[in-house]
Amino acid sequence: MRVDQMVNVGLVDEVRHIFIPDADYTKGIRRPIGVPEMDRYLREETNINKDDESKKMLLQSSIANIKRNSRLLICHQLDKIQRLINEKMWFVHLIIATGVFKGDRKEVVDEAWMNFVLQPCLNIVKRFIKSDDRNIIIE
């Protein structure tokens, strides 16, 4: 759903803007925003202007690859977090920001961010600092 939203608000144009055919897409800013997955579409879109169906199929394939790779990335990140919890015995806090972005107006989103993300994170940091004898207590 998030990838579809990104496509609707201009992901393809954003990727097209930074697309460089001979660039290295294995690292840097081009990797995380879908350039590797959009590569074939961006290379071929100008050659298939007359065939809209082929163009749509290529775009849908690129979007499906972005979704697949995003799911893989999420799985790898969750594995790393679980390893930190299980092997390193780290205490991990869960902050879910997804609901914040469901508001339509900027004011609603800003207030939700403050209440459900920023303030809980600040509270976690304050508790951490207060629990460490070597740190100054911050109020």
User: CB within 8 A of 25, min separation 6: which ones?
Assistant: 31, 35, 36, 39
Q: How many CA atoms within 13 Å lie on the side-chain side of 66?
A: 28
- pLDDT tens digits, residue range 93-124? 989 888 887 767 888 888 889 999 999 999 99
Residue range of the domain that includes 79: 1-88
Q: How confident is the model at residue 69 (pLDDT cuts 50, 70, 90)?
A: very high
CA distance 38 to 25: 11
CA distance 42 to 134: 55
- CATH code: domain of residue 57: 1.10.287.890
Query: Looking at the structure, do residues 80 and 112 belong to the same domain, yes or no?
Result: no
Token pair recorded at residue 69: 């790779």
Shared domain for 77 and 105, answered yes or no, is no
Residues 39 and 59: their CA atoms lie apart, in Å, by 10
pLDDT digits (tens, 9 = 90+) for 118-133: 999 999 999 888 876 6
In percent, the amount of the chain with pLDDT more than 70 equals: 91
Please indicate, yes or no, whether residues 6 and 37 belong to a single structural domain of this protein. Answer: yes
How many folded domains does the chain comprise?
2
Q: How far apart are CA 19 and CA 27, in angstroms?
A: 14
- Which is nearest to 36 in space by CA: 44, 48, 24, 46? 24
Cβ atoms within 10 Å, residue 124: 13
Q: Could you tell me if 78 and 130 lie in one domain? A: no
Q: Are residues 79 and 11 in the same domain?
A: yes
